Structure 1
Amino acid sequence: MTEQILILDFGSQYTQLIARRVRELNVYCEIHPYNNFPELTPNIKGVILSGSPCSVRDADSPKVDLDQFRNVVPVLGVCYGAQLMAHLLGGDVKPSQHREYGRARLEVGDRDSSLLAGISESSQVWMSHGDTIVRIPDNFSIIASTESVQVAAFKLEDELTYGIQFHPEVTHTTEGKQLMHNFVVDICGCSQDWTSESFVEETVSSLRQKLGNDKVVMALSGGVDSTVAAMLVHQAIGKNLYCIFVDNGLLRKNEFEEVLHSYEDMGLNIKGVDAKDHFYGLLAGLTDPEAKRKAIGKSFIDIFDQEAHLIEDVKWLGQGTIYPDVIESVSIKGPSATIKSHHNVGGLPDFMKLKVVEPLNTLFKDEVRAVGRTMGISEKILGRHPFPGPGLAIRILGDITAEKVAILQEVDAIFTGGLRKWDLYKDVWQAGAMLLPVQSVGVMGDERTYERVVALRAVTSVDGMTADWAHLPYEFLAEVSNDIINRVKGVNRVVYDISSKPPATIEWE
């Protein structure tokens, strides 16, 4: 079994970052709610207790029996996790006299500590807590402090159990990666052999065993996740994978033909379905964004189900679910900023009567791309910007018509093509154009015009949860605006969206 670190989630906004830092060390880890986690098995080499927005002093704060882990595997408590250790084992946790939020200087007190090996004597760390440990139990020893927090890091005597009141997982803790390496590799003894190559080998082998000669059907979108998932299943069962790519009429310009051709070149058993007219008919007259989303979702399911039933003896539904989808769909007690349902989790309706296979449901997005590169998938697919499931329907404000889609496809092609031409595409997290439900007076030649307005949107982000508008060069924007107005009939004004998320969202609907 693959070595792993078990991360118990108490509701911290940083829990996924802890997992990311462990994965960067080529060590597998899993996040589980503090009140619903698996039993320790020999492959679990250590446990990390996350932070939390709660206070250990509250009667209903999340708690866990530490005796399940202590002296069995190494344990690291981060912020709330450290305070929970102190609180449960006889120490005192009180509200901070001076709450620490932000940067602080960590003064290492125990230069022989394995957890702090290689850490500078005075190192920048990131604090984010309203409580602090004011008294440690008798069997604790302080190994680091800050100017205002005496117990910034501690160790339990005669056991590999540690606590820290700062966050090593955020980049503001400048030597956080070293500390994580010390705990995961040196203290827990993980071998750092979890790589994209090993993942592909193990996953394909597991899929072969799991699926046997069964048939699998998958809906592909041209996106990163579904493509990589399909290639893993394809490597395992070949032509027994049946892929369906539906053209809902709301894709980018020429995307259906180009992506379909790419999939055929990759050897996938793929069927393209032209359903543009069906979708346009159902969307006719709908202006409410949620109504448009529901109509598109229902139509897709109906068409996919119809196509899937044309394949005899299908047993499995393949999906491109990734790890954040799974994490964010698991509720935990407390004021955690969970918990949304995701369209991938749970899959299509029960009436399809298929078992679900999700080969990527343990990976983050960047890991999915690494796996894709290992399998030789084109960078044109792996490097694509995220694209909304409802497609251009939520970038056309108001009702949907084929004419509006054609206009927006042309605008989008000029904008994204320009980003590539100027070598800006990789610097942007997501870019697209919005067709606004307003018209504007303009002058073209000797004629006055009264035509459509489009808004260009480009953002920079790490994960899409927050985003800043991309500061694109004025010269680039001028060229793109000029090209759009000259080449797209029906558009006479271009604006650029300079709103960040929050308060705005990336998409307009």
Structure 2
Amino acid sequence: MSVPRPVLVVDLGAQYAQLIARRVREARVYSEIVPHSMPVADMLAKRPVAIILSGGPSSVYEPGAPQIDRALFEAGVPVFGICYGFQAMAQALGGTVEHTGQREFGGTKLAVLESGRLFDGLAPTQDVWMSHGDCVTAAPPGFGVTAQSAGAPVAAFEDLAGRRAGVQFHPEVAHTPDGQRMLEHFLYDIAGVERNWTNASIIADQVAAIREQVGDKQVLCALSGGVDSAVAAALVHRAIGDQLTCVFVDHGLLRAGEAEQVETDYVQATGIKLKVVNAADRFLGALSGVADPEQKRKIIGREFIRVFEQAAREIALEGDVEFLVQGTLYPDVVESGGGTGTASIKSHHNVGGLPDDLKFALVEPLRTLFKDEVRAIGAELGLPEAMVWRHPFPGPGLAIRIIGEVTRERLDVLRAADRIAREELTAAGLDRDVWQFPVVLLADVRSVGVQGDGRTYGHPIVLRPVTSEDAMTADWSRLPYPVIARISTRVTNEVPEVNRVVLDVTSKPPGTIEWE
């Protein structure tokens, strides 16, 4: 993919490395994450316009703690240190880092001593988010101290001549309200970085890269209905038109209205050539009698492979298919250690897994993007809003939201309850406040209830709304009680098989977002 020169975020073990990279991109500047173990020469080979050193859990003076090679600061590239990165930078350049016993964790008042560039135009007292047990007690030669707190005599410093700066706190988190402005002051005013990472530039770069990669060959895409595969396919279609064929395997495990959304709304919006395979009976037959969640996943993956293989063979009759579109996102690349970009596929979460002998060259137009950027690109490409903002949905679909055997009747019950929950969330204007909203049917559980004048033994439904930024961690959504009440009332009134609605209030960890 053709991309601008990056701001490198050097990951020193921080829980916020991805968040830093996202904040840089929100400033319309392209960023990449690299491990602190990467040699400086390899970092510089990426021709970075600036480097940001992340936080981390270590103490700089402990044996084995990540250190920053002084050569990084002598390369003429602007550098910004955050938390541990700030301390490692200070130590490498001749400053002093000590364990004073004055730890600061959480919200902290910061006193700005002189505005410099980072705090230009900001209030003299700042609310910031701290997380440190060590602190910088003396800035390196050539650096001016620009802020302090009760536990950090040097909480920020700048060397404008060397285009270097750092802060003890975390400007990337929402708990530092002016943090994004501080980060932008570094990028624009200290590093002199250009704002060239926009939706239009991403689309233009991708279209050119896809055309160069694919040429006049045929391309295949497994379309799931999710935002990632939908946007990836739309980008490829913008580049090569009818050379792309999408395959939509309807396994009968989608939520109400989703198959129609793919087959009708998406095709109308994009003009994409779509092959639909209706395989619900096949999948339900294979799942008959199976309650174990891992077995469900394996069966669904196996059947998907077989159906997709057959569709690929039928399409290949019209011309050799050499490329496969994948909706791989940047977090997938980072979490897998960077990816290899090989042309042989074994499995992928977007398509449910492909066989070892099914070989394509990959086209991954979203490989450098975060989820929020993918949504923005989808909107720019004119995709239906309901598809762009669709909540993440597992590949095995409703099969792993039914605790017990998957049957057509149980799917109908869960679809009806799920539809009501989504309708009420939308009516309350909360769709974008919730990351994901699994609705779970406890099919193997019977709950006693009273409906009308008689006793009932119906199924419980579990509501599992969560908030998250990247699904690595999550918290249960504090939905307004009236919304929960409306969902409960409608489900128990409109879905006869259900007589109890419960709310899952478990965070991740210790729980997972999905129940199976």
Q: Do both proteins adopt the same fold according to a TM-score greater than 0.5, normalized to the shorter chain?
A: yes
Distance 1:277 1:173, change over 3 A: same
Q: How many Å apart are 1:324 and its aligned residue?
A: 1.3
Matched, 1:213 2:219: no
Q: 1:299 to 1:49 in 2, by over 3 A?
A: same
The structural deviation recorded for 1:473 is: 4.2
Other-structure match for 1:493: 500
TM-superposed CA distance for 1:221, in Å, is 1.0
Equivalent residue of 2:37, what SS? coil
Write out aligned runs for 1:453-492 (5 A).
453-492=460-499
2:229 to 203, 226, 229: 226
Matched ranges for 1:386-405 at <5 A: 386-405=392-411
Find the counterpart in structure 2 of residue 338 from structure 1. Answer: none
The separation in 2 between residues aligned to 1:474 and 1:2, in whole angstroms, is: 47
For the residues of structure 2 that align with 1:331 and 1:207, how far apart are their CA atoms? 21
Q: Give how far 1:381 is off.
A: 0.7
Report the 3-state secondary structure (helix = DSSP H, G, I; strand = E; otherwise coil) of the residue aligned with 1:150: strand
Distance 1:154 1:475 in 2: 49
How much does 1:371 deviate? 0.7
Q: Indicate yes or no: 2:382 matched with 1:376.
A: yes
CA shift digits 1:277-314 (9 cap, x unpaired): 22223322322222222222232223223322322211
Residue 84 (str. 1) matches residue 91 (str. 2): no
Amino acid at match of 1:10: L
Match of 2:18 among 11, 16, 19: 16
Change over 3 Å in CA distance of 1:137–1:180 after alignment to 2: closer
Name the residue aligned to 2:154: 151
CA distance in 2, matches of 1:375, 1:331: 28
Rounded Cα–Cα distance in structure 1 between residues aligned with 2:353 and 2:315: 19
- In structure 2, relative to structure 1, the CA distance for the partners of 1:211 and 1:91 (3 Å cut) is same
Code of the aligned partner of 1:186: D
**Residues 69 and 300 (structure 1), Cα distance of their counterparts in 2 relative to 1, 3 Å cut:** farther
Structure 1: how far apart are the matches of 2:352 and 2:430? 37
**What is the alpha-carbon distance in structure 1 between the residues aligned to residue 212 and residue 496 of structure 2?**
55
Out of 354, 360, 364, the residue aligned to residue 366 of structure 2 is 360
Per-residue deviation, 1:101: 1.0
Write the mapping of 1:102-501 to structure 2, written as runs, cut at 5 A: 102-111=106-115, 113-156=116-159, 158-265=161-268, 266-312=270-316, 313-330=320-337, 343=349, 348-436=354-442, 437-501=444-508
Counterpart check, 1:59 vs 2:63: yes
Q: Contact 2:291 / 2:403 at 8 angstroms: preserved in 1?
A: yes
Q: Paired residue for 1:336?
A: none
Describe the SS at the equivalent of 1:205: helix
Contact 1:319 1:347 in 2 (8 A): no
Contact residue 165 and residue 186 of structure 2 kept, 8 A: no
Partner AA of 2:32 in structure 1 = E
Percent of residue pairs bearing the same amino acid type? 50
How far has the Cα of 1:43 moved from its partner? 5.5
Q: Choose which of 9, 17, 27 in structure 1 pairs with 2:29.
A: 27
Contact kept? 2:460, 2:498, Cα under 8 Å = yes
Q: Partners in 2 of 1:52 and 1:348 — Cα distance?
A: 38
Tell me the secondary structure at the aligned position of residue 119 of structure 1.
Answer: coil
Aligned partner of 2:97 in structure 1 is 93
- Which residue in 1 is equivalent to 2:510? 503
SS in 1 for 2:298: helix
Cα distance, 1:267 vs structure 2: 0.7
Q: Which residue of 2 aligns with 1:44?
A: 48
Between 251-260 and 378-387, report the one with greater CA deviation. 251-260
Following superposition, the deviation at residue 331 of structure 1 comes to 7.8
For the structure 1 residues 476 and 9, does the alpha-carbon distance in structure 2 shift closer, same or farther, using more than 3 Å as the test?
closer
Q: CA deviation at 1:474?
A: 4.0
Q: Deviation digits for residues 146-195 of structure 1, max 9, x if unmatched? A: 22211212235842222221111112222212211111111221221221
Gaps of 5+ in 1: 333-340
Change (3 A) 1:71 1:422: closer
Shift of 1:360: 0.7
Q: TM-score, normalised by structure 1?
A: 0.91
- Structure 1, residues 106-153: CA drift from partner, whole Å, max 9, x if none? 223344x23332233222221112222234444444332222211212
**1:216 touches 1:242 (CA, 8 Å); kept in 2?**
yes
C-alpha distance 483-90 of structure 1, shift in aligned 2 (>3 A): closer
Asked whether the equivalents of residues 208 and 239 of structure 2 are also in contact (C-alpha less than 8 Å), the reply is yes
State the Cα RMSD in Å: 2.5
Aligned length: 500
Evaluate the alpha carbon distance shift between residue 5 and residue 97 of structure 1 in structure 2; reply closer, same or farther with a 3 A threshold. same
Which structure 2 segments of 5+ residues have no match?
A: 340-346
Select between 401-410 and 480-489 the one with higher mean Cα deviation. Answer: 480-489
Letter of the 1:483 counterpart: R
In 2, Cα distance between the equivalents of 1:268 and 1:444? Answer: 49
Q: How far did 1:227 drift?
A: 0.4
What SS is found at the alignment partner of 1:352? coil
**How far apart are 1:475 and its partner, in Å?**
4.0
The whole-number CA distance in structure 2 between the counterparts of 1:474 and 1:103 is 29
**Paired position in structure 2 for 1:72:** 76
1:4 alignment partner in structure 2: 6
Query: How has the CA–CA distance of structure 1 residues 66 and 290 changed in structure 2, closer, same or farther, with 3 Å as cutoff?
Result: farther
Question: In structure 2, what residue type is equivalent to 1:317?
Answer: L
CA-CA distance at 1:399 after TM superposition: 1.8
Q: How many Å apart are 1:39 and its aligned residue?
A: 4.2
Distance 1:204 1:45 in 2: 24
Are residues 316 and 126 of structure 1, via their aligned partners in 2, closer, same or farther at CA, if it must alter by over 3 Å?
Answer: same
